[in-house]
Structure 1
Amino acid sequence: MMLLHCEKILHQGEKRLGMQDEDFAATQNIEGTTVRLWFRKTELTVKAMYQPILDYLSKYIELTDTEAERFKSFLKHRKLRKRQYLLQAGDVSTFETFVAGGCLRSYSVEEDGTEHIVQFAIENWWIGDLYSFLSGAPATLNIDAIEDSDVFTIDKSDLERLYREIPKFERMFRILFQNAFVAYQQRILSKISQTAEEQYIEFIGKYASIEQRVPQHQIASYLGMSAETISRIRKQQSKH
């Protein structure tokens, strides 16, 4: 937190010339004189901004303050508007993305415009075109925001550098990539062996509260069902 200015109060509610919206004031009595101390929120805001991803990391690895600062130096923070692209098919994916807030999806599009959703990503999930990221080939997936979202991206070159400087990150990301492979395999098996209702129940268990955040037709696209089938399952579930 940065102290910008200290002045004797002349008029209550007065905003000092040149102050910005992100600045704030606190009053204090010093030797019988009420003064106003002007602060800048930037430092506090930045600390809070990184907290979701640092909290996530703490579940897997323990970082020193120096290591945490080094990791943060590799991150790029982005705010996405609803429907804004993070990645478009045909581009090479050079980064992985952590969702700090909001909801994103990855999907392919057929020539007739039909969408096939591969993944949803809500808070504390990673999303990307893993094939493009690892191989350097053009992405086959689009990634966009279903709602206004906050994300952190880390470039592949920076990730490799992070592995060398702080080896514990290599183990953590290896586990994440392994988990992603297992998730895709389980999804294929679910599609082969489960009923439509069982797939839907499994989906809701995996994506908490997603029903309230994602349009029904997108859930249907992800599950490879029609919107009418989803509607029927929901009606059956409401009777239980």
Structure 2
Amino acid sequence: MDTDIIISQLIEHFREIVPLKDSDIDAILPKLEIIQLKKKDHLLHEGQISRSMRFIAEGSLYAYHIDEKGKENITQLGIENWWVNDLYSYLSELPSRMFIRANEKTTVIQISKNNLELLYKEVPAISEFWRLKMQSAYVTLQERTFEHSRVDAYTKYRTFVTTYRNIEQRFPQYMIASYLGITVEYLSYLRKKHLSDLS
């Protein structure tokens, strides 16, 4: 993927939420780092401190933690134009309790915490962008927490496929099942039920 296209993708992503002048873009560009990942490469390991915000320009990532039985539990899925990170580690500067891994060949744009702090002063619109992003992330987390404890599996699945229309085909079934907190077999049943309800 061409570097200019990758960068312009992020700039357009910013501009969907906040206005940017040419001088703002000039300040942003030197602070970006492009990372290329092969399928199954890790972007973050458990125990590392997450020191960057990460934008997916191409490909897909997933975040997971390993429980006491050695089982992977998927906590985040991400495709193009999404941000995937361990916000707890990033904000607290404590070691991460999760891994972030490429689901396929993936291109990520990183902005280190230090550079982002500089941009908040140099480009106030970026501070506004992250204020709005953090609000949105908090609302999404609250919704997911509420749904997890009070909503049946079929409603969870239906919400997932209608909210994130392009994501289900990008990840293996076992990852989708893990993200929803159900078995692969039950996911298969829910998919068939959903298709039947749509027809």
Superposition TM-score, scaled by structure 2 size: 0.95
Question: How many Å separate the matches in 2 of 1:110 and 1:46?
Answer: 38
Write the letter of the residue equivalent to 2:181: G
Q: 1:150 aligns with which of 103, 107, 127?
A: 107
Give the paired residue count.
197
Task: Say yes or no: does 1:220 pair with 2:177.
Answer: yes
From the CA coordinates, give the structure whose radius of gyration is larger. 1
The runs of 5 or more residues in structure 1 that have no matched partner are 1-44
- Contact in 1 for aligned 2:47/2:97 (Cα 8 Å): yes
Q: 1:197 aligns with which of 154, 159, 174?
A: 154
Write the letter of the residue equivalent to 2:81: N
* Equivalent position of 1:113 in the other structure: 70
- Contact in 1 for aligned 2:158/2:194 (Cα 8 Å): no
Q: Structure with the greater relative contact order (CA < 8 A, sep ≥ 6): 1 or 2?
A: 2
Write the letter of the residue equivalent to 2:57: A
1:138-183 Cα shifts (integer Å, max 9, x gaps)? 0011000111111100000100000011112111111111211111
Write the letter of the residue equivalent to 1:166: V
4+ residue segments displaced more than 3 Å: none
Question: How many Å separate the matches in 1 of 2:172 and 2:4?
Answer: 33
1:28-87 Cα shifts (integer Å, max 9, x gaps)? xxxxxxxxxxxxxxxxx4322212111111111111112112111111001111110000
* Equivalent position of 1:33 in the other structure: none
1:186-238 Cα shifts (integer Å, max 9, x gaps)? 00111122111110011112222222111111111001111111011111122
Task: Say yes or no: does 1:89 pair with 2:46.
Answer: yes
* Equivalent position of 1:74 in the other structure: 31
* Greater strand fraction, Structure 1 or Structure 2: 1
Superposition TM-score, scaled by structure 1 size: 0.79
Question: How many Å separate the matches in 2 of 1:46 and 1:102?
Answer: 15
Write the letter of the residue equivalent to 2:85: G
Write the letter of the residue equivalent to 1:200: Y
Q: 1:172 aligns with which of 129, 140, 148?
A: 129
Residues 1:171 and 1:187: Cα distance change in structure 2 (over 3 Å): same
**SS of residue paired to 1:99:** strand
The runs of 5 or more residues in structure 2 that have no matched partner are none
